[in-house]
Chain A
Amino acid sequence: MPRAWKSPVTAREAAPTPAAQQQALPFLEPAPLVKPLALAPTRVQRLWFCIWLPGLPLEAARSTEAATAVIEEQQGIQRVLLTDQQARAAGVTPGQSANAALALLPTLQLEERSPLREQQALEALAGWLEHFSSFVCIADRDVLLLEIAGSLRLFGGLPELRKKISTGLRQHGFDASLAIAPTPLGATWLARAGRRACIRDEQNLKRVLRELPLDCLQWPEGICSSLMAMGVTTIGDCLRLPREGFVRRFGAEPMIALDRALGHLPDPRNSWRAPERFCADHEMVQEQSDRERLLNICHELLLSLEQFLLTRQLGTQRLSFSFFHLKGSATELRLGCARADRCAERWLELLRIRFDQLVLPEPVIAIRLRSGMTQALQAESARLNFYGCDDRLTRRYSIVELAERLIARIGEQSVHSLCMVAEHRPHYAWRPQSLLSDWASSTLSEIRRNIRRPLWMLPEPALLPADSGYPLHQGDPLRLLDGPERLETGWWDEHGISRDYYTAVNPAGIRLWIFRNRSQPSCWYLHGYFG
Chain B
Amino acid sequence: MSASLEKLLQNPRVWRGRNQVQQKTGLASGYPELDRHLPGRGWPTGALTEILTEQYGIGELRLLMPALVRLGAEDAQSNYGEPGWIAWIAPPFQPYPPALMQCGIDLSRMLIVRPRDAGEILWSTEQALSSGTCAAVLFWTETLDDKAGRRLQLAAEKGHSWAVAFRPMAARRQPSAAALRLELHAGNEGTHVHILKSRGGRPTILKKLF
Contact = CB atoms under 8 A, between A and B. Distances in A.
B79 A510 contact: no
Query: How many A residues are at the interface, by size bracket?
Result: 35 or more
Contact of A417 (B79, B99, B112, B187): B112
Interface in A366-411: 391-399, 401-403, 405-406, 409-410
A435 B111 CA distance: 9
A402 B108 contact: no
A432 interface: yes
Contacts of B111: 399, 402-403, 415-417, 435
A397 B133 contact: yes
B110 A402 contact: no
A299 to B, nearest CB: 22
A402 B103 CA distance: 26
A168 interface: no
22 contacts: A392-B160, A393-B79, A396-B131, A396-B159, A399-B131, A406-B124, A409-B124, A410-B113, A417-B112, A420-B101, A429-B97, A443-B108, A449-B102, A451-B98, A456-B57, A456-B92, A458-B93, A529-B56, A529-B57, A529-B93, A531-B56, A531-B62
Contacts of A458: 93-94
B107 A418 contact: yes
B85 interface: yes
A396 B134 CA distance: 11
B193 to A, nearest CB: 13
B33 interface: no
A418 B93 contact: no
Nearest to B116: A410
A391 B92 CA distance: 33
A365 B83 CA distance: 49
A456 B62 contact: no
B186 A509 contact: yes
A158 B136 CA distance: 60
Contacts of B60: 531
A413 to B, nearest CB: 8
A475 interface: no
The interface centre, meaning the residue of A393, A394, A456 with most chain B CB atoms within 10 A of its CB, is A456
A509 B188 contact: yes
A509 B62 CA distance: 14
A459 interface: yes
A374 B124 CA distance: 29
A272 interface: no
Contacts of A391: 160
Given A420-B101, A456-B61, A396 B96 contact: no
A508 interface: yes
Return the 9 tightest CB-CB contacts between A and B, nearest first.
Answer: A529-B57, A531-B61, A430-B97, A509-B186, A453-B99, A457-B96, A456-B93, A395-B132, A414-B114
A278 interface: no
A531 B59 contact: yes
A210 B3 CA distance: 102
Given A417-B111, A529-B56, A455 B128 contact: no
